[in-house]
Every structure is written in structure tokens, then in C-alpha cells.
Structure 1
């Protein structure tokens, strides 16, 4: 939040201070006088900062590209992203100019955020850190629907009709909006209690102690929020037992509707009297860490229930912890040798003593086990919310008019 306020302050200070300076340099200053000592009046005759006497509407739209910054990134830093997951989207807007430099805009935008541990990292240059992130094996895609209202401040002022606007202008914008999001994950073929996949999983299904549970949604993208992958939807009794057993309070469900603060800069170029093309780069500050459905710690999988009795439990378990979805060669020869702890642990807990599962040390552990380990059982990073950057190329059509009052004509 401090970074956002700093960036916001710099942009807005520049947007307010620079226009007058630039105008003074380019146009000789706003106090230039005629030979008789009279000031050159503005076209509109108005000296107010916000001048409603010159106003026109425009509509437009374009394409955008979204880049995600969050828990599933190439490196565990706030500014890390994988540009290969940049996906195109669209935006539509209505805009009104209401002063020499000032406009407001109502904007709708759709775009997609996406990331994957395994696709981003690969196995060629493993280190302690990225091998653990590869083993985490989380991924998501999230369609972002954003509705926002922003104020725009132009660098060069324009006090006349729309047709006399400067050929080129640079501007800053800021505002507020709402985002609807719904992160989804790709379902594997099986939920398994093994640390890695056996070559013949069909041989270990059924019976009293099955190790593989086929998933009906295999190969599909499913809503992750509905599964409560970090224990959000567990009942009150289970949550109480979890608190007593591990001393940890499980998270509550996150909202699909989130507040967002857009702030950024742009450049506009005049194509014709009625058409502009513009390029914008905007930072979106969000107030959620769940755009990727990842934030806290791995949950004790037995808290979900018994997968033998409920297929929904098997799906929730599988999507909560995907660290066991590797074949034996990839796991034993590529991943395990470079992990910070080269062990496979077996877990069963007081929540469900009959349910046992195996995981590489540090992954899939019960919520309270291993808190002294270097990486404990962190699934994500709760200290930073997710953000995204939007890059837009838009075409604006000016509806016409240009209401000018206060001017005298003969």
C-alpha cells in the first residue's frame, strides 16, 4: 500500500504541476500581454481550473493485455511475472471532457490472468528455491471483468472545440473500480495419496485402502473458490478441531467481487477531427490475495473428509495440493535431489486417523506439523496482495459538439 501511495503521489503531482510549466515553456506563459498591456484572453473567457463551459463526449474501445503479479510467479518477489502468459482482452468506454485538461471516463474491461509453476520454471536450471516452486505445481487462469471510473489530467491544455485539440497529448489517470473474478484450475486425472504417480494407477483403485481416486472432471477447468482449497468451507466443528489441534485459524471464503484502484499514464494521438488513438499503461492495486486462489498454508488434507465416501472431497484434496502429480522419473531424478529436504513423509492426523497420505517434505503437511522447517508448509505468501498491469490500445470517436460559452462572435 505504501508503494501505491508513493506512485500515486508522484503521478498526480506531476500531472498537476507539469502542465502549467509546459504551457509556459511552449506558449510563452499564461500572462503574456498584448501591446496595449491587455492580457490575451482564453477562447472561452473562463479562468476556472475545472471549466464546464467546454465539454464534449466520446466513446471508444480497444484491446488490452493483462500481466499478473502474485504468488505463482517465476521468483518469490512482488515484481516478478511471466510475460509468456500475457493474454489479450477488450475494453469499452464512455468519456467526457469537461475542462481545459480534465476528463472523466467510465470503462469496462475484460481480460485473462494466468500462471503456472511448472510451465514458468521448467527443469533445466533447478535451484533449491525454484525446485520447490516447481514441485508446488500450482496453476490458474482467471477471467477479470473490471468496471471503473477514472479521472484524467492532460499535460497540454485545450480550451477550444474538439477539432482544435493538440495533435498529441500525454495524460495521467486515477480512479476506482470493481472487479469480478473467479480463479479456475486444471483438474488432473487422479487424486492420489502417493508422493508421485505410479505407472499403473488403475491397479491401486478400490478396496479398503485405495491410493488412487479417478476424478470425473479430469482435464477440465473448475472453480477453485468453490472447493475451499485452503479450508475456507470446512464446517464449524472441523474448524474448531483444527484450531485446537494446530492452534491455527482457517481462512474464510473470499469474495469474487473486489475493489480495485487503477492508476497510470497514457498518450493520445489525433488521427482525424473525430478520431484518436491512445496507448495506456495502468497499475491495478487490489485488496485480495486470491486472484490465483493461493495465499496461506497447506491444509491438513484429512480435514476435507473421506474421499472414499464423497467424490467432491477427492477433487478438493487434489486441487489443494498438486505436488504429487509427477511421474516417478521426474520426481525422483529431477526434483527430489535438489529440494532443501530430500525426504518423503507419511502423514495421518487426529482429524481422521484412518486417512494416510505421503508427500515430499514441506508439501502437503498437516497444518501444524513442521513449523520449524525452513519453508514450513507455506502454499503462498500472505504478506502481499495480488496485482495486475493493464496495457491498452484504444480508438476514441468524438461524438461532436464542443459546447463553448462565453465567447463573442460577430
Structure 2
């Protein structure tokens, strides 16, 4: 799947270099046109909290909505440029995406991590049509497959939900209130230790994909497309490396609520269904329990730092063509 996506990306980029000065001369300003559109669809995610450690692994029950608006301008017979803004949500849950009786997934089931992440994306892409249109918008083809590639800037903010009392053995002053918690400020993998910087919530991505467009009438187009987002972060799900000592996350003295939350969200194996198998933290005085094989630096099963996270945007676009305004030449 990675090879296919890379091939689509390279081919689409190569085709964008095809237009020549002759194309520009034949495709006059009178034939260029713009459109505005609305997107309704879905977002899916691939990262450390999926059914299988494979790029094609998706859990459709984890699909969440995505909406967007766009502006498109056709420059050449085959090529348009589009600016878009999208908002969508991705989620992941070890308990729902894995199964205890699966040999490879049992570790993820016990790990018990989960998250949701609202993504706001601003993108600019070049769209390359398979069939060219050298006429005006009125004579555009009825059915056109296309590919696209570009650049995007996104803001993301992974969160996780905690229900007070779900972690065994904690007293009232050691627990945290029920609710959704932003994970990046908590430094669940020790980013705040030893002067390390937290991961950035503003990231760059490469959007690319395929679609088909259908002409409804003179002014309206309907299209369906699937787009992949290649990101350069492994923290869309707040999971990347290994565990850290909870004693380090708590610090010395009375731990603040943020440090307590960091310790809880760093390792959630104790909140599953295996309460009879829990063991105390190896550090004396640390109240958090865990499953054997989780929650300490010796257990590197929290994430896979070498694989960056991806997300996928799919759905339907409906576009309205703005009638070109061409000024008549003035004769003197």
C-alpha cells in the first residue's frame, strides 16, 4: 500500500510539470473558471492504536465525520489548484481495535490506551484531470477521474477520557476528576523531563489522493475522493516511544494534579479487566498499579517511534461554478 501511494504521489507531481507555454496560450483567460465547494465525509487514522501494525489496517467503527470548504481555479486544460479548510476527528482505542484472544494483538488489548483528536487542516493542492477540457466550463466533460497532491498545515490536540475511580488503589487525593484531558501538556512519555520539548500541535502534512468528478448540470459538479495525509509526527495519538518511571513523572514532594494525570495517562493497563493480575509499581511510595510488562522503561511496548502517523480523508464534494467575468476589450 505504501508503494502504491508513493507511486500516485510521484505520478501526480510529474504530470503537474507537463503544461507548456503553448498550453497556456491555447487555454485563454476566457476558458478559465473558478468554483466554490462543500465537502462532507469521514476521517480515519493509522498509527499505534489500530487493529494491526500495517498501513492498510483500519477499523471502520472508528470512522468519524469530516467537513470542509474549498475554492478551486482551473488554470490549464487538465490542471486546477484548490485551497481547502477541513475539520474532522480521528479516534483510536486498544480495547475496541484489538482482541485478547489474538496472539499479536493481546499486548495492545492489555495496554488499554485510547484517544480522540480533532484536526483542523488548511491545504493547497494541484488537481490533475485524466481528461482535459479545452473548452469553456459549459463544455467540460461529464465524467472525469483525477489525482491531486499538495501541502497542508494542520493543528491537532490529542485527548483521552478518564473516569475517576477507575484506577485501582488510588486514594481521593491521588486520583484525578472525571473528564477529557489534553495529553500533550501532560508529557505522558516524559517529554518534560531532562529539558525535552513537547511535540508540536501544529504540523505539516502532504495530502495526495484520487477522485472522480461528475457534471450535474452547467454550474454544479459532484465528486467523490479519497485522500491520504502523510504527516511528519508520531503523536497524533500521543503514542510513540516507551514508558517512563511514574516516580519521575510525579516528581518530588506533593505531586500536582497535572503530574498525577501524567502518571495515570502514561500507563492505563491497570484500568482494564485484569485487576486480579495487577502488581505494584517498582518504586516505593508510588501508588499506581500496573500489569506485568507495562508501565516501566524496561517495557518498550507503548509505541513504535519509527512509524509516523497518517490520516485519511474521504467523502463527497459538491461544487458550484462561478461564472467567469471577462471584460470586453476597449477600442480607441
When the two structures are superposed, what TM-score results if normalisation uses the length of structure 2? 0.88
Shift of 1:381: 0.6
Contact in 2 for aligned 1:62/1:395 (Cα 8 Å): yes
Asked if the contact 1:295/1:382 (under 8 Å) is kept, the reply is yes
Matching residue of 2:32? 55
CA distance in 1, matches of 2:28, 2:72: 14
Counterparts of 2:227 and 2:237, CA distance in 1? 20
1:66/1:52 CA distance change after superposition, 3 Å: farther
Name stretches of at least 5 consecutive residues in structure 2 with no aligned partner: none
Cα distance in 2 for partners of 1:127, 1:307 equals: 42
- Tell me the residue number matched to 1:326: 272
Mapped pair 1:183 → 2:158: yes
Matched, 1:273 2:207: no
Task: Provide Cα deviations, 1:237-294, integer angstroms capped at 9, x if missing partner.
Answer: xxxxxxxxxxxxxx53111110010111111111110000011111110000000000
> Residue 324 of structure 1 aligns to a residue in which SS?
helix
Deviations 1:76-129 (CA, angstroms, capped at 9, x unpaired): 223322111101121100110111111100010111000100122244xx1343
The residue aligned with 1:213 is: 174
**TM-score when normalising by structure 1:** 0.72
How far did 1:62 drift?
Answer: 2.0
Quick one: structure 1 residues 101 and 11, their matched pair in 2 at CA, closer, same or farther if it must change by over 3 Å?
Answer: closer
In structure 2, the CA distance between the partners of 1:395 and 1:73, relative to structure 1 (3 Å rule), is same
Per-residue CA deviations over 1:389-408 (Å, capped at 9, x if unaligned) read 11020110001127599xxx
**Kept after mapping to 2: 8 A contact 1:15/1:155:** no
- Name whichever of 98-107 and 356-365 sits farther off: 356-365
Check whether the contact 1:191–1:215 (CA below 8 A) recurs between aligned residues. Answer: no
Superimposed CA distance per residue, residues 172-231 of structure 1 (whole angstroms, 9 cap, x where no aligned partner): 111001010000001131475xxxx3xxx5xx627xxxxx82312x1x111100111111
Which position in structure 1 is the counterpart of 2:146? 171
Unaligned runs of 5+ in 1: 20-45, 207-211, 237-250, 337-342, 371-375, 406-410
Q: Which deviates more, 306-315 or 392-401?
A: 306-315
Say which is worse superposed, 259-268 or 113-122, in terms of deviation. Answer: 113-122
What do you get for the CA RMSD once the two structures are aligned? 2.8
**8 Å Cα contact 2:66/2:313 also seen in 1:** no
Q: Are the equivalent residues in 1 in contact too, given 2:280–2:287 (CA < 8 A)?
A: no
Take 2:8 and 2:23, find their aligned partners in 1: how far apart are those partners? 30
Q: Do 1:344 and 1:361's aligned partners in 2 also have CA atoms closer than 8 Å?
A: yes
* Structure-2 separation of matches of 1:258 and 1:110: 15
Q: After TM superposition, give the deviation of residue 131 of structure 1 in Å.
A: 1.8
- Greater Rg by CA: 1
What CA deviation, in whole Å up to 9, does each residue of 1:353-381 have, x standing for no partner? Answer: 5436542221011x2xx3xxxxx332101
Q: Check 1:52–1:297 CA distance in 2 against 1; reply closer, same or farther (3 A cut).
A: farther
SS in 2 for 1:214: coil
